[in-house]
Amino acid sequence: MKLVVDVGNSRIKWARIDNNRLANSQSVAMQGDTGFILDYHWGNMSPPEAVLVSNVAGKEAEQNLQTWIQKNWGIDPAFFRSTATYQGISNEYARPEQLGCDRWAGLIGARSLLEHGSLCVVDCGTAITVDALTADDRFIGGIIFPGIDLIQQSLLEGTSDIVENRAEFKQVLGTTTAEGVSGGSFIGVAGAIDRALHEMYAILDNPKLYITGGDAPLLLPMLTKSLQHEPDLVLLGLAHTLK
C-alpha cells in the first residue's frame, strides 16, 4: 500500500493506492497541532511502502509532516514538485517550478481521465484556480482569485459591523448583512469562474471542464457551464506519478 497526500492551505487530504487505484480518500481541517491531528487520523494506519505529498502550505507544514512520517513509519516521504514536463505535458509557466504543485498534479490527474482533447481544471479551495491544457498537452497558464473564505475575510477585516457567515448560498437578495455577505461571496466567486471559463472557450477548442476542491459541491450548482466533479483530482495526479 502507498499513500498520496494533498496538503492545502486549510485542509489535508489523503488516499491509499491499492492495486494502482485510489482507495478510501479522506480529508480533515488542518487547525491546531499537526502532530495531534496526524496521531488521531493516521496513528492506527499500517505503514505504507511510500508516501508522496503535494504541499502548498509552506515549509513548516512540510517539515511537520516529514517529521511525523519518519518518526511513526520509518520512511522518508517524497514531496511532489512542479516540473517543466511530465510524460509529454509541457508546463509553459515562466518559471515552471513556481507553479503550485497541486495545480500541476490536478492537470496530470485530468489528463489521465481525458486522453485526448483540451481541458480546464477549476480548483475551488482557499484560492480559486482555473487552468488550461491544450489538446497537444501544453499548460498555457491559468487564473487565480480569492475563494469564498478569503472574500469574506477581506470584508471582515476591511469593514465594521460585518460578521462572518460561512453558510450555504440560499438566495440572491439577503435581508440581513450576514446573508448579504454570504450571497455576495458565493455569487462573486461563481461569476468569476463563469467569466474565466468563457475566456477559456475563446482560447481552447471545446475544452472538457473539471472541477475539484472543497467548495466545488457548493459552487457547482451555481455555474452556467457543465463541469465534471472530480473531488480527488489532485490525489489522482499524484497517484499517476507514483506508479
The whole-model pTM stands at 0.93
Share of the chain above pLDDT 70, in %: 95
* Domains in the chain, CATH or no CATH each: 2-79 (3.30.420.40), 116-148+178-242 (3.30.420.40)
User: How high is the pLDDT of residue 163?
Assistant: 64
Residue 102 a catalytic site member? yes
- pLDDT beyond 90 at 107: yes
Residues found in the chain: 243
Annotated catalytic residue within 102, 123, 149, 215: 102
d(CA 143, CA 128): 8
User: How high is the pLDDT of residue 152?
Assistant: 87
CA 55 vs CA 70, 120, 137: distances in Å: 17, 22, 24
**How far, rounded to the nearest angstrom, does the alpha carbon of residue 136 sit from its chain's CA centroid?**
24
For the chain, the helix, strand and coil percentages under 3-state DSSP, each to the nearest 5 = 40, 25, 35
Least confident of 106-110, 154-158, 208-212: 154-158
More confident residue, 71 or 159: 71
Cα–Cα nearest to 91, from 127, 135, 138, 124:
138
pLDDT for 110-144, tens place per residue? 999 999 999 999 999 999 999 999 999 999 999 99
Return the number of other C-beta atoms located less than 10 Å from residue 37's C-beta.
17
Alpha carbon distance, N-terminus to C-terminus of the chain: 12
Mean pLDDT of 66-89: 97
pLDDT for 178-203, tens place per residue? 788 888 899 999 999 999 999 999 99
Return the number of other C-beta atoms located less than 10 Å from residue 161's C-beta.
5
| SS3 assignment, position 179 | helix
